Amino acid sequence: MATAKTWKIAREIGDAVIKASRNPNRRWYGPHMAAAVRAISERIPLVDFVLEIRDARIPLSSEYELLRKFSPLPSKQIIVLNKMELAVPLELKKCIDYFEERNYLSYAVNSHNKDCVKQFLNFLQSQVRELHKAGHSGHTTTMMVLGIPNVGKSALANSLHHIGRISAAEKGKLKHTTVSSQPGDTKDIMSLKIGSHPNVYVLDTPGIFPPNLYDAEICAKLALTGAIPDDIVGELKLARLFLMILNSSHEYKKWAKLCKSQDLTESLSDESSKSDAKRKRQYATDHTQDFIVHEVRRVLYETISAFDGNLEDETSIGNLIDTQFAALRTVLRVPEDASEFADLRVASKIVNLYRTGRLGHYTLEHVSALAKS
């Protein structure tokens, strides 16, 4: 089976990101990032913990390389694999084991799941207790959240703050750090309280890349997962790369039941007035609604199942993707305008559905291969 590393489109995406990183304007490494690096370097010797947030789909490529440049570092460093709900569970377990074998403390979390964040907060509080047993004399413990752009640092910091304050039954206005699907929206360091007795604070920091990037394979993964601004590469290429990954995986086979139940579902909907009323409240142009997502999955399943070409040949799989785009225009209610414009509309919706987990679980790199080497 082909991998992203061997695909021409992945190399093109990676090369475009590298070229942009060398642009004198440095679109993601502007003055605010340079200022953030200075602010972090000044504060990091004063904190008790470093929480390095990574994307669970790319646990190695999303490493915060600048962490190596800061000194001195706290003794407690925890690798937090955020967006665990988007990764393949088995691969996530292998990743945790991989870090454990190398004496790295790691934890997987979904920053949008209340129970998951509560468990993570309990884990952090246990680490704080261990720190105090080891002789930490301060009444306040501070944790700095670090990571590259768009790995969910601010979302996780906000969730910890909200649940921590509720658990402590504290009154007062909750703070909010800026949360956005666009990389680079956090500009300043912000302190949020997540625990009491003892007091525990997290410092949310801006996402930062090194001034230059060099590895095209890593850059392609960063672009696909949303760490790089989409306009540097273009959503059309990103959508085609995702469809290559989907078409070469077994994830689509989970959608087989959608085709078998389609006729029955439609007939029952026609007979049920309640279903008809519900349909009227649905918006056909909103691709995030369940009935649209189900249709997208069904179309993708049918086109892959009917394909009799070679999925390891990039030209052949490219023809399949062209077929899929044509079918998705109808399902996603994209008007038949100029073909390129219509494909851009489709691409934008497909990339969004991938990044929000509506089209399955994907881990884009496998630590098991490294463990054997």
* Distance, CA of 225 to chain centre: 5
Q: How far apart are CA 243 and CA 263, in angstroms?
A: 26
Residue-level pLDDT at 164: 85
Is the Cβ–Cβ distance between 86 and 361 less than 8 Å?
A: yes
Q: Cis ω on the peptide bond leading into residue 198 (within 30° of 0)?
A: yes
pLDDT at 270: 47
Element housing 190 (H / E): strand 190-195
pLDDT on residue 184:
47
Of 362, 314, 321, residue with least CA distance to 7: 314
Strands 199-204, 76-82: pairing is unpaired
Low-confidence residues of the chain: pLDDT under 50 = 1-3, 5, 171, 173-174, 179-181, 183-186, 263-277, 280
d(CA 350, CA 235): 9
List phi, psi (to 5°) of 304: -70, -45
The residues that bridge with 144 in the sheet, in sequence order, are 50, 203
pTM of the entire predicted model: 0.87
On whether the CB atoms of residues 346 and 334 are closer than 8 A, the answer is yes
Instruction: Please give the torsion angle defined by the CA atoms of residues 251, 257, 260 and 263, in that order, rounded to the nearest 10 degrees.
Output: -110
Give which of 36, 173, 96 is closest to 368, Cα–Cα. 96
Which pairing describes strands 190-195 and 199-204: parallel, antiparallel, or unpaired?
antiparallel
Q: Nearest-CA neighbor of 142 among 229, 74, 41, 86?
A: 74
Cα dihedral 146, 204, 181, 23 in deg (nearest 10): -50
Distance of CA 50 to the CA centre of its chain: 20
Helical segments of 2-88, H only: 8-21, 31-43
What is the rounded radius of gyration, in angstroms, for the C-alpha atoms of the chain?
23
Place of tokens 């913990």: 49
Q: Buried (b) or exposed (e) across 346-358, using 16+ Cβ within 10 A?
A: bbbbbbbbbbeeb
Report pLDDT for 371: 57
Q: Given this model, what pLDDT does residue 68 score?
A: 86
C-alpha closest to that of 324 among 350, 294, 355: 350
- Cα gap 122→284, rounded to integer Å: 42
Residue appearing with tokens 């370097």: 41
Bridge partners (DSSP) of residue 142 are 201
* Structure tokens given for 340: 């390129």
With tokens 């995702």, the residue in question is 242
Domains of the chain from N-terminus onward: 28-210 (3.40.50.300), 216-264+282-367 (no CATH)
Separation CA 82–CA 76 (nearest Å): 18
